[in-house]
């Protein structure tokens, strides 16, 4: 076991609760420990993390060598955005949304991320015009085949091909989007280069519109846009009685942290519902 020291509070439970990524294969979350199968070179094993303290996480693994520890730590740091400094967001949100800023100070505000930028991108594609149940099914299919138990690497996805993505993984119209985008990411050398995957580049990929691009950018800590889909639209209508454009205008004070403010609002509602349920 290794204890990972953090520069800021990071609440693992709130990070998992921030959005639905932990429900997608190959993640496993039991309420205290977050784990998933991983592959490093020819070695396959399991990596897990649990809270050790407000500013520390405990890592454990099976199937890997001692020499793999730095890479395993790097992956966990990516999961929880350990290197993201929340101070500017706190300064921006505290005057306008104090309750949400308090959550951020507790260690919330980090959306769980996958071990690679590529996996985050593909899973975002799986949410386009799909029910959550369908997204979960498609993610599980990719892990089972072509992933072989882990999430597939880009070349494995290309080797699997569009036809099998359509017919066996049942990605439907998303199959050519995934294949074309994967080929482009590899050709452009940006498949692991987070700095180059900006909003304009993303919307330039075939099949990637404003929602998917904004969602990917949020996972890269660019919270300036709201990733508007049917879920966001319904939430804003039900909670605020407004359309997304009206919400954006009303929360201009959030500045470049608008998307983060929205996620913290959703998280605050979720925690309130959980607390109310615990009373009965």
Residue 280 — pLDDT band, cuts 50, 70, 90? Answer: very low
Which CATH architecture describes the domain 2-83? 2-Layer Sandwich (3.30)
pLDDT at res. 278: 58
Is the pLDDT at 199 greater than 90, yes or no? yes
The closest of 218, 184, 155, 210 to 18, measured between CA atoms, is 218
Say yes or no: do domains 2-83 and 117-212 share a fold.
Answer: no
pLDDT, one tens digit per residue, over 56-102 is: 999 999 999 999 999 999 999 999 999 999 999 999 999 999 999 99
- pTM passes above 0.85: yes
User: In the chain, how long is the greatest CA-to-CA distance?
Assistant: 55
pLDDT tens digits, 24-52 = 999 999 999 999 999 999 999 999 999 99
What class, spelled out in words, does domain 117-212 have in CATH? mainly alpha
226 CB-near residues (< 8 Å, 6+ apart): 214, 232, 244, 247, 248, 258, 259, 262
Domain ranges, ordered by start, for the chain:
2-83, 86-110+219-280, 117-212
For residue range 236-245, list pLDDT tens digits in order: 999 999 999 9
**pLDDT of amino acid 198:** 96
């Amino acid at each position: 076991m290794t204890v990972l020291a953090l520069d800021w509070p990071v609440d693992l439970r709130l990070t998992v609760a921030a959005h639905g990524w932990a429900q997608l294969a190959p993640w496993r979350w039991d309420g205290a420990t977050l784990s998933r199968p991983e592959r490093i070179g020819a070695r396959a094993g399991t990596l897990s993390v649990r809270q050790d303290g407000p500013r520390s996480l405990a890592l454990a693994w099976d199937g890997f060598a001692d020499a793999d520890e730095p890479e395993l730590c790097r992956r966990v740091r990516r999961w929880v955005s350990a290197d993201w400094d929340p101070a500017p967001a706190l300064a921006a949100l505290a005057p306008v949304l104090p309750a949400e800023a308090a959550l951020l100070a507790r260690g919330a505000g980090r959306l769980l991320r996958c071990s690679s930028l590529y996996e985050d991108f593909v899973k975002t594609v799986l949410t386009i015009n799909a029910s959550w149940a369908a997204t979960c099914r498609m993610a599980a299919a990719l892990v089972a085949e072509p992933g072989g138990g882990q999430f597939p690497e880009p070349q494995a996805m290309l080797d699997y091909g569009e036809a099998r993505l359509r017919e066996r993984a049942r990605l439907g119209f998303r199959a050519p989007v995934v294949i074309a985008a994967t080929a482009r990411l590899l050709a452009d050398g940006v498949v692991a280069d987070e700095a180059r995957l900006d909003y304009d580049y993303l919307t330039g990929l075939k099949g990637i519109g404003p929602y998917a691009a904004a969602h990917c950018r949020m996972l890269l800590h660019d919270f300036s846009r709201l990733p508007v889909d049917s879920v966001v639209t319904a939430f804003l209508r039900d909670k605020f009685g407004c359309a997304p454009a009206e919400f954006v205008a009303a929360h201009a004070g959030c500045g470049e942290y608008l998307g983060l403010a929205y996620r913290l609002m959703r998280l605050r509602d979720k925690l309130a519902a959980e607390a109310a349920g615990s009373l009965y």
